[in-house]
Each structure stands twice: as structure tokens, then as C-alpha cells.
Amino acid sequence: MAICFTAVASAQTADEIITNYFEATGGYDAWGKLENMKMVAKVNQGGMEIPLEIVQLNDGRQYTKISLQGQSMYQGVFDGEVLWNTNFMSMQAEKADEESTMNQKLEANDFPSDLYDYKSKGYTVELMGTETVDGTETHKIKVTKEPTTVDGEKVDNVVFYFFDTDSGAIIMAEQEITQGPNKGVIGQTMLSDYDEVNGLYFPFSITQGVKDGQSQPLLIESIETNVEIDESLFAFPESGE
């Protein structure tokens, strides 16, 4: 029986595993019709719970709103052309540098996932075999995307996804950090507690951190899809220049 199972598992291709993932979490066509998603969550910083609102649109626009001490601050806001953030010290909006903006434009077509319709994006996938993650057997798939730019140099943009061999769900993602104090360290995201939202299944437990190091759970309260979005929130406030 073990030999038969191994034969079946090895016969699966990376493309089949990815397609099965989307089918198991709501259907490939249904994911393609997703226009936007809004997530309400909290993170714990030093014992303080900080509310977050994360919005993503299918055209690449996005923002994260942080509510702290009665004020709203925006991070990672992208309107399709301009990437900007709120400076926590001055509380003024500031445009990101050209390199960060260019990299963000590369990610703009990754909604609802970089795995969705990956071939048309020019990405390649490779099945690396099976690997056990916290006692769960997974298919490990390497996704190679368009290179990003770091300090003026092109660097590889590779993500490894780990799919539960039983449920087909993604339970972990890993990617090397290419800049900042953790440069060279493997960033790790753990995904679990999938639940249904308007026919699609999303992970409601997300923990981000570094491999074999500290991590930060994202406490997700709600996820909504195809909702009314105030599009003015994406625009850079000209008074912030």
C-alpha cells in the first residue's frame, strides 16, 4: 500500500497540485471572479492589540490601515502607480522610493495569489518532492517569479509553498529575505484554520516570522469579498508631500 501511494503521489505534477488547491478551496473559476477582499485583523505588539484593515483589489491596488490611539495610519498603499506609507513620526504621507515602487508593480498581478494563472505571468513551478511540516506530509513546490531589484541589482524571487497532501491546502510558505536586518534569513508564513467566505476558503490563522526564530500571529476577525471599497483611500494625499 505504501508503494502504491508513493507512486500516485509522485505521479502528480506541480500544475495538478496547484489546480487541485484552487478547486478544493472554492473552484478555479470562482477565484478568477474575485474582485476584492477586505480583512479585519489584529496584531499584538508589546501586549497591545493593534487593529488592522487590509484591502486588496484585483487590479493590484491595496492598503493596510493601522488604528492606533485614535489615529489611522496607512502602510503599503498602492494606487497602481504610486506606493506610499504614513511616517509614524511625522504622521505625514510619504512616497516610497523608485525601487520599492517598481517591485510593487511586479506584484500587482498576483491577486488573488501568485499561483493563480501563473503561466500567463511568466512564472515557473517545480515539484521538489514531499516534506513533513509539523507532522503533516506536504508537497513542496518551488515558484520562480520575476526577479526583484535590491540596491540596484536584480535578485531571484523564489517562493516555496507546502501543500497538505491530504486536504490540498497550503499550510506553509517560505521565501528568503533579500534586504534589511534579516537579509539572507528564510521568512516563514504558517497558514491554518481555513474557513468559507462566499464560497471561497481562506486561512483564518496566519503566523509570520523567520524560520527557527520569532514569529508574529495575525489574529483575523473577519474576511469579506467583493465589497464596496472607498477608492479614494488609495490616492496619495498631495498635502503629504
HEC profile for the chain?
CHHHHHHHHHHCCHHHHHHHHHHHCCCHHHHHCCCEEEEEEEEEECCEEEEEEEEEECCCCEEEEEEECCEEEEEEEECCCCEEEECCCCCCEEECCHHHHHHHHHHCCCCCCCCCCHHHHCCEEEEEEEEEECCEEEEEEEEECCCEEECCEEECCEEEEEEECCCCCEEEEEEECCCCCCCCCEEEEEEEEEEEECCEEEEEEEEEEECCCCEEEEEEEEEEECCCCCHHHHCCCHHHC
Which residues constitute the domain of residue 22? 13-233
- Whether residue 8 is contained in a domain is answered as no
pLDDT at 240: 46
- Whether residue 241 is contained in a domain is answered as no
Q: What whole-number percentage of the chain has pLDDT above 70?
A: 94
Read off the amino acid at residue 49: E
- Whether residue 178 is contained in a domain is answered as yes
- Whether residue 187 is contained in a domain is answered as yes
Q: pLDDT of 129-153, one tens digit each?
A: 999 999 999 999 999 999 999 999 9
- Whether residue 3 is contained in a domain is answered as no
Q: What is the pTM of this model?
A: 0.91
Torsion of CA 94, 100, 104, 106, to 10 degrees: 150
What confidence category does residue 48 fall into, taking pLDDT thresholds of 50, 70 and 90? confident
* Arithmetic mean of pLDDT, 63-92: 94
- Whether residue 212 is contained in a domain is answered as yes
* Arithmetic mean of pLDDT, 96-122: 96
* Arithmetic mean of pLDDT, 71-91: 95
Could you identify the residue written with the cell 506530509?
A: 137
- Specify the number of domains making up the chain: 1
CATH number of the domain bearing residue 156: 2.50.20.10
What confidence category does residue 7 fall into, taking pLDDT thresholds of 50, 70 and 90? very low
What confidence category does residue 10 fall into, taking pLDDT thresholds of 50, 70 and 90? very low
Read off the amino acid at residue 193: D
- Whether residue 139 is contained in a domain is answered as yes
For residue 150, the cross-strand partners are 153
Say yes or no to pLDDT of 8 above 60: no
Report how far residue 184's alpha carbon sits from residue 77's, in angstroms, rounded to the nearest whole number.
26
* Arithmetic mean of pLDDT, 159-169: 97
Averaged confidence pLDDT in the chain = 92
Cα–Cα nearest to 175, from 189, 196, 164, 155:
189
Could you identify the residue written with the cell 518532492?
A: 129
What does residue 146 show for φ and ψ, rounded to 5 degrees? -65, 140
Report how far residue 106's alpha carbon sits from residue 78's, in angstroms, rounded to the nearest whole number.
12
- Whether residue 186 is contained in a domain is answered as yes
Report how far residue 171's alpha carbon sits from residue 49's, in angstroms, rounded to the nearest whole number.
25
Cis-peptide into 112, omega within 30 deg: yes
